[in-house]
Amino acid sequence: MNGGAALLCGMRILLPLLALSLIGCGQRPEWVTLEGKAQGSTFRIVYLDSLGRDLAQPVDSVFRVIDRSLSLWDSTSTVTAFNAAADSFATTDRHFQVMLALARQQWMATDGAFDPTVLPLVRAWGLGKEGRAAIDTAAVDSLMRCVGMPRIYIPDSWERTNELAPLIFRKSAPCVQFDPNGIAQGYTVDMLVLLLRQRGIERMMVEVGGEVRAVGLNERSEPWTIQIDKPVDGDAHVQQTVVPLRDRSLATSGNYRKFIEVDGKRYGHTIDPRTGRPAMNDLLSASVIADDCATADALGTALMVMGTADAKQWLITHPEVQGFLISDDGSGGYAIWVTPGWPEPAMK
C-alpha cells in the first residue's frame, strides 16, 4: 500500500518484554515475535506457538500477494490495472473482489463518508504519491463525476459461471478509480490472523501500520495493551490513553501528522468524498474498536470525514462498534468523547 496511507497514525503497541526475552534465550520459544517493514510502513506480530515455528516466510507471502492485488505503488497490481481500465474489468483476484465488496459495505454503512473512489480527488489535492498539485476549484468540482461507489458495478459471486471464472466489474467512466488504502492494511491484518489461526495459533497480536487485532491473551494471561497517542505534531508518540484489547480490532485515524498547506492554511489528508474537498472539522483523531480490522480501519477514516458531531451520532446508533474521539476544544486543548462500551481503562 501507499506509504502515505500508513495514515492511521496515533497508535502504538506496548509489547511485553517477555516475548522478546524468550526469543533471545537460545531455547525453543513458545512466544514468537516477527517484525519488519511492509506496505510502506512497519509490522509486528507476536504469537504463542508450542512448536516455536518461525512463520516469517508465510507471513511474507501474505504481504506479497496482497501487494500484487491492492498496491497503488505496483504498476502490475490488480488495482492498478482496474484503475487503468476504460470500462469493464475482469479478474479472478479474490483479494480484489473481496476488497471491493467490503468497500461497498462500508460505503453503505456510513452513508458515503467512506468512499475509496476518492482517488482522483486525492491526487488533485496533491495527497497521492505524485506529490503536490495545483488546486483548481473548477477541476476538483469536475472530478466529482468520477467519485462514488455506485459508479462501480460490483457483481455478486453467483454471477460467475464457475469457481475459476473471473468476475466482471464495470466503471461508469474511465476516470473512476479505486483507492484501497483506507481499508487495505486492516484487511491485511485480518488475513494474517487467518493465516495464524489456520496453523492452530489461538493467542496473538497482529499489527500493520498501526492497525491492530488481538486474539486471546498475552503471555501474562491478560488482554493485549495498546496505546493511543495524543494528536500532536511530529513523529513523537505521546500517550493519550491505554486500551486493553482481546478478540477485537483497533484502528486510529487522524489528520494531525499529515496535511498539505495552501496559502498558509492547513488541510487534512482525509478527503470528504461528498464535497470533493478536505474534511475541515474539529475532529483530530478517531479510534474505532470492531470485530475485524478491515471494518475498524474503514470506520476510522469515515469518522474523520464526518467530524465530531456526526461521528458521535453515528457511533451512538451503531453500538456494535466502540469509538474514542479526540477533538479540538477551541482553546488550544483537547475534548475527549468515548462510547459507553469503550473498554476500561480508557482514560489516564
The pLDDT value recorded for residue 334 is: 86
The helix-helix angle for 56-70 and 94-109 (nearest 10°) equals 70
Which of 25, 40, 51 has its CA nearest to residue 184? 40
Residue 68 cell numbers, joined: 500484487
Residue 128 cell numbers, joined: 497521492
> Considering just the CA atoms, what is the radius of gyration of the chain in Å?
20
The pLDDT value recorded for residue 235 is: 63
Contact 345, 334 (CB under 8 A): no
The pLDDT value recorded for residue 229 is: 83
Contact 96, 104 (CB under 8 A): no
The pLDDT value recorded for residue 59 is: 97
Contact 152, 169 (CB under 8 A): yes
Phi, psi of 225 (to 5 degrees): -110, 120
The pLDDT value recorded for residue 2 is: 41
Domain extents in the chain? 73-181
The pLDDT value recorded for residue 137 is: 75
The pLDDT value recorded for residue 280 is: 80
Collect the ranges in the chain with pLDDT lower than 50.
1-27, 129-134, 346-348
The pLDDT value recorded for residue 260 is: 55
Was domain 73-181 assigned CATH 3.40.30.10?
A: no
